[in-house]
Amino acid sequence: MQVIDLVRRSALERGAHVREQWVADSLGMSRSPVRKALAYLAELGLVTQEPNRGYFLNRSAGELANVDLSAGSDVEEDAYFRIGDDYLSGRFTGEFTAADVCRAYDLTSRQADRVLSRMQREDLIRRRPGRGWEFQHLMSTAEAHDQSYRFRMIVEPAALLEPGFAVDAEAFALHRRQQEALLRGDALLLPRGELFRVNAEFHEMLVACAGNAYLLDSVRRVNRVRRLVEYRHQTDRQRLVRQAGEHLELLDLLEGGQQDAAAGFLRDHLDAVREIKTRLPSGRGGAAGS
């Protein structure tokens, strides 16, 4: 985004006043698109709008150095997501070797090895006996994705109602800080893989509070197989801001002892995002997120 690039070039500090006219003059634009861009950054938590005063930075130029503005800015990151997209689209099938990846995605041997090692760590691919690689069993259809959310809609709210459920104060505090950081701009700053990790671990933490190892293991397994298809949906960063707000509301309900209300809220939370991501009809309404 040009506004972020301007802030970085200008070495602005946290709290700096980002005036519409200054941005417009610096970028050679009219104020209308600048106003929209600043409003977008405000939704992402990178700037704060103060009535009758304008916009002020919540992050310094140095903190914005690694903003994830484009999916293709890193060769290995780009190849990682291209391989995933090709698999999900049916263009990447059967077994393959590191040499195949080098040729298809224009990588060096070292780059291909790093990409494949990452995919192996994330349980997306596995080594074949002897030579080569193959994808694990991963969900690749809207119907399978839908089923994963319906499964979570059964398991996760039920975990909140388990007789052994107890708030883990330390874990709640950690995840509250992470979700608040998303509201302050991390929804834009973090790469897609890290965003998935933060939010998957939030839901796993809630289930862990039930003290039932079988429930936790089932949610972790679903998160592993849905990882790649979920990466496709991490580009709507405004939605991730709304999601963080809902996660904080869920923590408030549980810390207030309102487990029944929290379970209903969580089910609606999952149902709404299920409909957004799969585009399959929902039986109930609810909040957007996860």
Contact (Cβ atoms closer than 8 angstroms) between residue 125 and residue 116: yes
Does domain 142-278 correspond to CATH entry 1.20.120.530? yes
Per-residue pLDDT for 247 more than 70? yes
Stretch 3-29: mean pLDDT, rounded? 86
**Dihedral of alpha carbons 191, 192, 197, 198, sign:** positive
Q: How confident is the model at residue 1 (pLDDT cuts 50, 70, 90)?
A: low
pLDDT at 284: 46
Contact (Cβ atoms closer than 8 angstroms) between residue 180 and residue 133: no
pLDDT at 88: 77
Contact (Cβ atoms closer than 8 angstroms) between residue 138 and residue 98: no
Fold of 75-135: Arc Repressor Mutant, subunit A (1.10.10)
pLDDT at 217: 93
**Residue 230 CA: distances (Å) to CA of 131, 236, 273:** 29, 12, 11
Mean pLDDT rounded to a whole number for the chain: 85
pLDDT in tens, 155-205: 999 999 999 999 999 999 999 999 998 888 888 777 777 788 899 999 999
Q: How confident is the model at residue 112 (pLDDT cuts 50, 70, 90)?
A: very high
> In the chain, which ranges are continuous DSSP H helix?
2-9, 20-27, 31-43, 75-88, 98-105, 109-121, 142-160, 169-181, 187-189, 192-208, 213-231, 237-255, 259-278
Tell me whether residue 36 is exposed, middle or buried, using C-beta atoms within 10 angstroms of its C-beta: 0 to 12, 13 to 18, 19 or more: exposed
Tokens at 281, concatenated: 């009809």
Contact (Cβ atoms closer than 8 angstroms) between residue 266 and residue 283: no
pLDDT at 253: 98
pLDDT at 289: 47
pLDDT at 230: 74
Per-residue pLDDT for 288 more than 70? no
Contact (Cβ atoms closer than 8 angstroms) between residue 25 and residue 85: no
Contact (Cβ atoms closer than 8 angstroms) between residue 245 and residue 265: no
Q: How confident is the model at residue 145 (pLDDT cuts 50, 70, 90)?
A: confident
Per-residue pLDDT for 256 more than 90? yes
Terminal-to-terminal C-alpha distance of the chain: 25
pLDDT at 235: 61
Domain 2-57: top CATH class? mainly alpha
> What percent of the chain is modeled with pLDDT above 90?
39
Spatial distance between the Cα atoms of 210 and 228, rounded to a whole number of angstroms? 27
pLDDT at 71: 40
Show me where the domains of the chain are located.
Answer: 2-57, 75-135, 142-278
Per-residue pLDDT for 70 more than 60? no
Contact (Cβ atoms closer than 8 angstroms) between residue 135 and residue 142: no
- The amino acid present at 60, given as its one-letter code, is S
Per-residue pLDDT for 100 more than 50? yes
Per-residue pLDDT for 2 more than 90? no
User: Does 2-57 match 142-278 in CATH topology?
Assistant: no
Beta bridge partners of 244: none
Per-residue pLDDT for 138 more than 70? no
pLDDT at 225: 75
